[in-house]
Amino acid sequence: MLAGVCVGVLAVVVVLALPTFRKAVNEFTLPLAYQDVIREQAVDKHLDPALIAGVIYAETKFDPRPSAAGAQGPMQLMPQTAEFLAHRSGATSFTLSDLATPRVNIAYGSYYLRYLLDEYGGKIVPALAAYNAGEANVSRWLERSRRHRLELREIPFPETRAYVSRVLQAQHDYRHSYATQLGYR
């Protein structure tokens, strides 16, 4: 009798603790921050919020310290890319220190994602490859392709192939793990 009660109590504790445990695991393995900014930029730039979160995850895992190459902020924008984006988007003022501000960085990174998706006809693989390896490389790869398409397995840079794969997996994971926070429900 006592064993049955203990099992019942344990079952209730597990059921009650499971959501908290899942949340703790997600925060450790699949962190999410800036969800308000991500949702806002997704709407503004007509992007999937999980794609923005996936890029941030692949770039910094939401820990936006500068890279050795000089990329900055959650979406790891290079200063010259940010300047290009500032001029292209019609920004009236831009300073390099703006990239350290998550709201500004995510706005520019989202603008860049939208630009790349438009450049590559809405195709996500070449857009993400260009985000990582640059448009010149992707243009060269597309020129070499007989079909003028770029599949994940056709990306010649292993680092870029892994990056695109990581973003796509993270996009899927964010869509399912953070549906409410990213505005799907």
Q: Do residues 77 and 109 touch, judged by C-beta distance below 8 A?
A: yes
Contacts of 133 (CB under 8 A, 6+ apart): 155, 157, 159, 160
pLDDT tens profile 63-117? 988 998 999 999 999 999 999 898 888 877 778 888 999 999 999 999 999 999 9
Structural domains of the chain, ranges and CATH numbers in brackets: 1-30 (no CATH), 34-177 (1.10.530.10)
pLDDT beyond 50 at 165: yes
pLDDT at residue 90 in the model = 85
Contacts of 93 (CB under 8 A, 6+ apart): none
pLDDT at residue 20 in the model = 45
**What average pLDDT does the segment 41-61 reach?**
98
pLDDT beyond 80 at 7: no
**Of the listed 40, 59, 151, 154, which one is catalytic?**
59
pLDDT beyond 50 at 125: yes
pLDDT beyond 80 at 49: yes
- Return the number of other C-beta atoms located less than 10 Å from residue 39's C-beta: 17
Contacts of 123 (CB under 8 A, 6+ apart): 117, 149, 150
Its pTM stands at 0.84
Q: Do residues 96 and 104 touch, judged by C-beta distance below 8 A?
A: no
Active site residue 154: no
